[in-house]
Structure 1
Amino acid sequence: MSTYVVASLCAVTGVTFFIFGALVQQHVSYRKIKSVMLTDPYVYQCRKHIFNALSFLGRVTKGSIINNAKGKSIVTGENNKQFSERQDSVSIFDQFILWSRTRAYKAIMYMTFSVGQEGYPHEEIAHVAGIMKYGFPGMDEIHVYKNFILSYDRRNRIAHWVCEHVKDECLRMRDLKTLHKPNEYLADNTIPPMFSANMRDFRNSDWVGGHLASPQNYKCDILRFMEAYKFPNIVPINRGLKNHIWLRLENYVREMALKFGSVYVYTGPLFMPQRITFRNWSIRHHVMGMNTVAVPTHFFKVIIRDDGEDGDLPLMEGFVVPNADVDKEMDLRSFLCDVHDIEHFAGLKFCDGHQRDPVDLPVNAPSMTDLRGSD
């Protein structure tokens, strides 16, 4: 056998094993990253950059074909309701690459069954993706719950923001166990007690506990209903505001969800500055209890819904309500606010990655239908 034939065989063998090793390493890395995404929203937020860096055959951001626990292929894109992220159109060449990757993964699966987490956790990842479709406004201490995701502020003992995906299917059903609400708010064991509020802070106070994510949005499931009573979701709110304007605003959110199928809602506190002199401003707010729980001066609520007639541009409505006993007969449209102003004072960024007109923000005037219900 000539030297050239031996050298060619060695070269082909080396390249084959190199490609095979790269595929195995990529496959194992993907499985480990996806298992970490279940508990670490920070990894989920950076997933596109990580997958692009690890991509060997094709780009994951265009949509991916992966195998579930039963070995069936699942296409993650617009047609898959488990994933709410928008996917770009896939060309024939990309489809061929994705098809090849699927066959390669199926072959490698038998050789790496003992490495990493078994299978792909689609449903758990889709849970985060389904709620945070329009991105994270901020990334400070993220906590993931069954029905909402929030960013917690340890210094003020309240949340920075809460995001929820309110669906009509849950609003149309009722679990009889949700007829009885708990007598006290529930502690969250993932937050140290020294950085959390407790029931003693609310006793003999001028404020009551208000929900950023309303439990009335999750009457279909007792577990989701009870999670809304955990302290990270509770903020000090004026009693008159909670029983009237804030309740009407929550009812308006549910009305929009019933009308359009679902809406995405960001809710959180604001600490607005006050003018001291002509050129000087100051932020003044009360604190409550021995844990010095911060009492917000205002609250914001940003409602986002998809509009099929407007392409990729979602319709957004921003509301800012003062934490005071305002006139209960006021029109909800009086509290409409530009989302950019909310971003400025809250230090957050909404609808990250989606283009929208910074001046002519599409806002629909809310109706005054006051649905019955109370938290």
Structure 2
Amino acid sequence: MSLTDTGAQQCALYAMVGLTGFMFGAYFQQESSIRQLFGMIKKDPYLFHHRKKLYPLLSTFRTDLESRLWNRSMCLTDRIRNRLVFSLFDAFSCVFFEKRFEMNSPDLLDLIKYGLPSTDNLYVHKDYVVSQDRSTNAPKWMCEHLKGNYKKLTTGADGDALHLRYNDVYVLSCGATRTCKAFQRGIWRKLEQHVTEMTEKFGSVYVYTGPMYLPSCRLSEDWSLEYQIVDWIPLPMPSHYFKVLIIDPQLAGCSPYMEGYIIDNKNMPTSVSSSTELIDYLCDIAEIERHTGLRFFDGVQTVVRFGKHKYKIDKSSEQPSVLN
């Protein structure tokens, strides 16, 4: 073998080693960036909302980031990546970077699995996420994830279980319970009891609750909206409150489905006839979206079909029963 051939082989070997090192470095950089992005997505609701726009910026090599985020894909490649690449990343981070103390924060993947109705002024609590409406100084909506063993507020003056959660009463009313008259009604207690039953039955329910501001027509045929003076500032009073349930069954063969309810925000005297049946407050999700401007998860179908005095379930979708 001539000296020229030997030099050519060495150059080819060096080039192959360099290319391999470059590819491995690029792959390692991609995976470390993806891991950091996943960590930030779990803490920042805005990154969670816009995550799919960020994926292409990190996809040097083809990978299904959305499936990996939700741990839906656990093939051999994923196992090798988790054991080898992430272990190397942790080792390098401990050696070359200062390990920072991270405060405990809720996992947004557990709180807002089915997305955000809007992205205005978001605040994350360990038990819920809330969107604040600064124009009315009140929340626009709040989202909770209830599991089979969640604790509810069951205290009342008469000692009966009210099925009212602390979050609903105090967060949405900003501490002024007189604003939320709907929460004092028996029908709202029935709704909360229904949420409790669905949670205990299916193991996981995502609950969106918020106010609605709809004008009413009086005898003079003028449309008006009720206001209340708070700290010398007139603020609109909610005319209704909505609740959207996304039942996420933890049972084999069951698919998620949605329910929507609208309850007017006023005290009903006993002399005034008002329906006490929860089904009469069942509504289409699109109606809530139309009046509030919010957008709920469109990947889950509303399987409840309701008429004037009855309802039924779409049997073709093989969903679990909604109400007993």
TM range (shorter): 0.7 to 0.9
Q: Which residue of 1 aligns with 2:67?
A: 62
1:342 aligns with 2:324: no
Q: Which residue of 2 aligns with 1:15?
A: 19
Q: Deviations over 1:216-244 (max 9, x none)?
A: 89xxxxxxxxxx74577556535475143
On the 8 A contact 1:28/1:116 being kept in 2, the answer is: no
Return the letter of the residue paired with 2:212.
L
Q: Deviations over 1:30-78 (max 9, x none)?
A: 34434433542111223344345413363222336xxxxxxxxxxx63x
Question: Shift of the alpha carbon at 1:135?
Answer: 1.3
Written as runs of structure 1 = structure 2, the 5 A alignment for 1:208-223 is 214-215=165-166
CA distance in 2: counterparts of 1:360 and 1:332, whole angstroms:
15
Name the count of aligned residue pairs.
291
Q: Deviations over 1:166-211 (max 9, x none)?
A: 2231238x9xxx979xxxxxxxxxxxxxxxxxxxxxxxxxxxxxxx
On the 8 A contact 1:296/1:323 being kept in 2, the answer is: yes
Question: Shift of the alpha carbon at 1:322?
Answer: 1.0
1:98 aligns with 2:78: yes
Return the letter of the residue paired with 1:323.
N
CA distance in 1: counterparts of 2:35 and 2:101, whole angstroms:
8
Return the letter of the residue paired with 2:295.
K
Q: What's the TM-score once normalised by structure 2's chain length?
A: 0.73
Return the letter of the residue paired with 2:226.
H
Q: Which residue of 1 aligns with 2:310?
A: none
CA distance in 1: counterparts of 2:143 and 2:293, whole angstroms:
15
CA distance in 1: counterparts of 2:67 and 2:283, whole angstroms:
35
Return the letter of the residue paired with 2:13.
L
Alpha-carbon RMSD across the aligned residues, in angstroms, is 3.9
CA distance in 2: counterparts of 1:240 and 1:120, whole angstroms:
40
Question: Shift of the alpha carbon at 1:120?
Answer: 11
CA distance in 1: counterparts of 2:124 and 2:77, whole angstroms:
34
Return the letter of the residue paired with 2:134.
R
On the 8 A contact 1:52/1:59 being kept in 2, the answer is: no
SS at match of 1:110: helix
On the 8 A contact 1:52/1:60 being kept in 2, the answer is: no
Question: Shift of the alpha carbon at 1:115?
Answer: 4.0
Q: Percent identity?
A: 28
Q: Which residue of 2 aligns with 1:321?
A: 263
* Higher relative contact order, chain-length normalized (CA < 8 Å, sep 6+): 1
Q: Where in structure 1 are there 5+ consecutive unaligned residues?
A: 65-75, 78-86, 181-212, 218-227, 368-375
Aligned counterpart in structure 2 of residue 356 of structure 1, from 294, 301, 310: 301
1:289 aligns with 2:240: no
Q: Deviations over 1:124-147 (max 9, x none)?
A: 56x311121211111111111111
Aligned counterpart in structure 1 of residue 184 of structure 2, from 242, 245, 266: 242
Structure 1 outlier segments of 4+, above 6 Å? 116-121
On the 8 A contact 1:268/1:299 being kept in 2, the answer is: yes
Q: Where in structure 2 are there 5+ consecutive unaligned residues?
A: 157-163, 307-312, 315-320
On the 8 A contact 2:182/2:264 being kept in 1, the answer is: no
Q: Which residue of 2 aligns with 1:40?
A: 44
Q: Deviations over 1:256-285 (max 9, x none)?
A: 2223323221100011244699xx995623
CA distance in 2: counterparts of 1:241 and 1:107, whole angstroms:
53
CA distance in 2: counterparts of 1:327 and 1:334, whole angstroms:
18
On the 8 A contact 1:171/1:254 being kept in 2, the answer is: no
CA distance in 2: counterparts of 1:240 and 1:35, whole angstroms:
39
SS at match of 1:292: strand
Q: What's the TM-score once normalised by structure 1's chain length?
A: 0.64
Q: Which residue of 1 aligns with 2:91?
A: 110
Return the letter of the residue paired with 2:63.
G
CA distance in 1: counterparts of 2:286 and 2:253, whole angstroms:
20
Q: Which residue of 2 aligns with 1:139?
A: 119
